[in-house]
Amino acid sequence: MDQYVIKGGTPLTGEVEIGGAKNAALAIIAAAVMADETVTIENLPDVRDINVMLKAIEHIGAIVERPDRHTVRINGKYINTVNVDDEYIRKIRASYYLLGALIGKYKEAQVALPGGCAIGARPIDLHLKGFRALGVQVDIAHGQVIAKAEHLKGTHIYLDKVSVGATINIMMAAALAEGRTIIENAAKEPHVVDVANLLNRMGASIRGAGTDVIRIQGVQKLYKTDYTIISDQIEAGTYMYAAAATHGDVLVKNVIPKHLEATSAKLIEVGCELKEYDDAVRVIAKNPLRHTQVTTLAYPGFPTDMQPQMGVVLGIAHGTSTITESIFENRFKYVDELNKMGANIKVESNIAIINGVEKYSGARVSAPDLRAGAALVIAGLAAEGITIVDDIYYIERGYERFEEKLASLGGLIKKVSSEKEIQKFKLMIS
């Protein structure tokens, strides 16, 4: 099993290039199969979840060509089954996007119930409510969602809770429904807009993505196009917070600063200096870090996917901070691990009370999920001594060449797979 071994204490400095947004890409791959022509997708992140999703569409007959690691060509013409189920697809959450795509295109789908990071109960009731409202008969049997419709009829759907997944999924199915669908209380995340933009480029008629009311006029068919995925705001935020925690100075390139507003605002609050450019942000963390209060919210609020990284920064900030997690109930699993590194954090219900300590000390910890794992790596880079992060499988689901990018910023980090390699690393850096 691979691990990261990290010698902390070096401020990160330099430049880092951000890749395409994983959570947009997952939906975009599903949407691409809705045409019977080739959809070319660029700026594809080369991470595990994406590769699982590509395998899944290949399994059902889509043609998938990868001219290079960041480009994929997908043609859905030869899809020969609407049954998507294998041991890999069961592990990723975004398998649910194949429901929306296949229901839209073929009026039926049979997809394994989604897995994903264990960050709390992750129901899909809102997705199913939306499909049913469009006229789909939906059943759950043998660990699969089984959906079939005679016709998809446009309708009015109110989402009881703001959900990125449900918004995108309903939007995909409704793109090929008869008549007009209105989604109210829709998610406004940048990747909702990205998927809508792709579908529109394919011939769909979707208006209002990025606001809380999305209007979709169903069309008969979708066509080929070329599309470039937006950059990953969470990957960007992770490097920004790594710069803050290590008192570094990092230029994070190829980003959309507007998408980073909440992430950036909190860094300024804790005492970092931020410089914004057209497609880059620079974080300068020379000053001591200060405490603050954070609540996770749907976009444009502070993203739950940045919450663990924020916890790591606040763990070594002066004073007492709080983080309220309002999206997922089980997203504080990194706290026990961070406390092993000397943090002083208590969790009461959905609030973490963080008493800042002077510094972390290296320890052996394990990544409980994707973002929590990335946060523990940041803690390791800021800590005194050696940190070993186990279960980095989770981190590789969503971060491309994580250790290489951190090492290019001066971080002393290496991916290893044995005790011997850990010893070698220790000798090398001593």
Q: Distance (Å, rounded) from C-alpha 223 to C-alpha 204?
A: 9
Q: Which is nearer to ligand EPZ, 252 or 289 (CB)?
A: 252
What does the CA dihedral 45, 51, 56, 60 come to, rounded to 10 degrees? 80
Among 8, 76, 165, 257, indicate the residue that binds ligand EPZ (CB under 6 A): 165
Q: Which is nearer to ligand EPZ, 100 or 398 (CB)?
A: 398
- Sign for the CA dihedral angle at 399, 404, 405, 410 comes to positive
Contacts of 424 (CB under 8 A, 6+ apart): none
Q: Distance (Å, rounded) from C-alpha 142 to C-alpha 262?
A: 41
Among 69, 161, 221, 426, indicate the residue that binds ligand EPZ (CB under 6 A): 161
Catalytic site residue 117? yes
Among 15, 58, 65, 125, indicate the residue that binds ligand EPZ (CB under 6 A): 125
Site for ligand EPZ in 90-109 (CB under 6 A): 93-94
Among 6, 21, 103, 327, indicate the residue that binds ligand EPZ (CB under 6 A): 327
Question: Nearest distance from residue 127's CB to ligand EPZ, in Å?
Answer: 5
Beta strands in 43-177 (DSSP E): 63-68, 71-75, 83-84, 108-112, 137-141, 144-148, 156-158
Strand order in the sheet with 205-207: 156-158, 180-184, 213-217, 205-207
Among 31, 72, 99, 117, indicate the residue that binds ligand EPZ (CB under 6 A): 117
| Residue of 238, 246, 237 lying closest to 284 (CA atoms) | 246
User: Among the options 28, 39, 117, 136, which is catalytic?
Assistant: 117
If one asks whether residue 403 binds ligand EPZ (CB under 6 A), the answer comes out as no
Q: Which is nearer to ligand EPZ, 26 or 285 (CB)?
A: 26
Among 124, 202, 222, 243, indicate the residue that binds ligand EPZ (CB under 6 A): 124
Site for ligand EPZ in 126-145 (CB under 6 A): 126-127
The stretch near ligand EPZ (CB under 6 A) out of 60-68, 73-81, 120-128, 402-410 is 120-128
Which residue number is nearest to ligand EPZ in terms of Cβ?
165
| Residue of 388, 240, 380 lying closest to 316 (CA atoms) | 380
Q: Which is nearer to ligand EPZ, 192 or 381 (CB)?
A: 192
Among 5, 12, 18, 26, indicate the residue that binds ligand EPZ (CB under 6 A): 26
Helix (H, G, I), strand (E, B) or coil at 198: helix
If one asks whether residue 280 binds ligand EPZ (CB under 6 A), the answer comes out as no
Q: Distance (Å, rounded) from C-alpha 391 to C-alpha 295?
A: 28
If one asks whether residue 370 binds ligand EPZ (CB under 6 A), the answer comes out as yes
Question: Nearest distance from residue 220's CB to ligand EPZ, in Å?
Answer: 28
426, 386 Cβ separation under 8 angstroms? yes
The stretch near ligand EPZ (CB under 6 A) out of 114-122, 351-359, 387-395, 405-413 is 114-122
The stretch near ligand EPZ (CB under 6 A) out of 58-66, 119-127, 262-270, 399-407 is 119-127
Question: Nearest distance from residue 32's CB to ligand EPZ, in Å?
Answer: 16
Helix/strand/coil percent split, the chain, to 5: 35, 30, 35
Q: Distance (Å, rounded) from C-alpha 414 to C-alpha 388?
A: 10
DSSP assignment letter at 10? P
123, 159 Cβ separation under 8 angstroms? no
Residue 403 C-beta-side C-alpha neighbours within 13 Å: 19
Q: Which is nearer to ligand EPZ, 219 or 256 (CB)?
A: 256
Q: Where does this chain bind ligand EPZ (CB under 6 A)?
A: 23, 26, 93-94, 117, 119, 122-127, 161, 163-166, 187, 304-305, 327-328, 370-371, 398
Q: Please identify every residue annotated as catalytic.
A: 117
